[in-house]
Structure 1
Amino acid sequence: MPESARDRFDVIPHAQGRIGAHRAENPGMRGWFVLLWAAVATAVLIAVGIFAAMLAMGRISFDGGTPVPSVSRTATASAPALDTSYAVLVLNATTANGLAASTRDTIIAAGFAGNAVAASDASTQDFPATTVYYKTEADKSAAQALANLIGATKIGLSDQYGDDVVAGQKQLTVVLGLDLAKNAPTTEPTPADTSGDGSAG
């Protein structure tokens, strides 16, 4: 068979590299993917950490039990105990009739001996704040307990009052003030008690 003549289509040029249009990758897209995966990984680590902490504290249980809530304990100072071995003198330093007598009844009802609690009028009628007076530091807690009982707002150290009720017996003195008088019921004056227990207005 006769050989055909060669033309330009039979000439193959040497390779000159890649021919055509090629788009380069967008570096911004790769950065967003990295940030997204970093955020997902961080969220997973945080969730795992919280779960592990709750499991360690007993907030999560796999045995079906009820989680026990944590309880914060706050120390509270206990109120002093009422000491009924004291004699008590109640002085009404207001114009409220019957205030000393009603206070005396409250004190006796709390356990104090009736013959060791006396009620009388003070020399003044405008004493501002009800106060329980005690003679020595050893009597302070007893004075505070009595103040709590009758609603006195203050306690004070004073040697002005002695054993006015029972000779030789430790004594607390209550001076009733206007703070209690404003809440006291209005009563008519009554004759002084002559039974010898020392009760008065």
Structure 2
Amino acid sequence: MARSTFPRDRFDDLPDPSGRVGAHRAENPRLRGWIVFLWAAIATLVLIIVGIFGTLVVSGRISSGADPVPAPTPTAEATTPAVVDTSYSVVVLNGTGDEGLAGTLRDRLIQAGWSGDAVETGDSDSTDFAQTTVFYLRDADEAAAEGLAETIGGAAVGQSDFLQPSDDPNTPDDESAVKRLVVVIGVDRAAGQASESPAS
């Protein structure tokens, strides 16, 4: 290589610089990107787990560790004791297509102590009444209705104003109130079963 023929100047006596000269770009380390991604994945997983756990606690599928609330225990309903009270008048309706059931049941009630004048019979508007039922009006009549249901055997009891006097307001303590029970014979006593059911 040919030597320079330029004359020497003040820049020829400068010492050789050590290190880098000029602009240099620092390398972008790839490991830092993986660390950020790893932490993001961990945070997402934790949020998902917390969300699932919270949903299970709120829906009651798992307990949160607190003392469980005891389930309410059902209390037995007080039943009204049955009382056979022949002072009640009784209306017997045949709710089936079989004839003679109301008269047969009337005869049984007379044998049980009711007077013939206190028991009336008739036919119901329905001929497919499901279950023989004794209907009463006031709460005070429930015991007598239960007693009548036991007397005829296997009858249900229900509260209704069906065929009750319209001039009888809700006066359970009024001794002068009309005392009436209504029996509707159902198809469970069809085909002569009313005369075969044992009296209580």
With the length of structure 1 as denominator, give the TM-score of the two structures.
0.49
With the length of structure 2 as denominator, give the TM-score of the two structures.
0.49
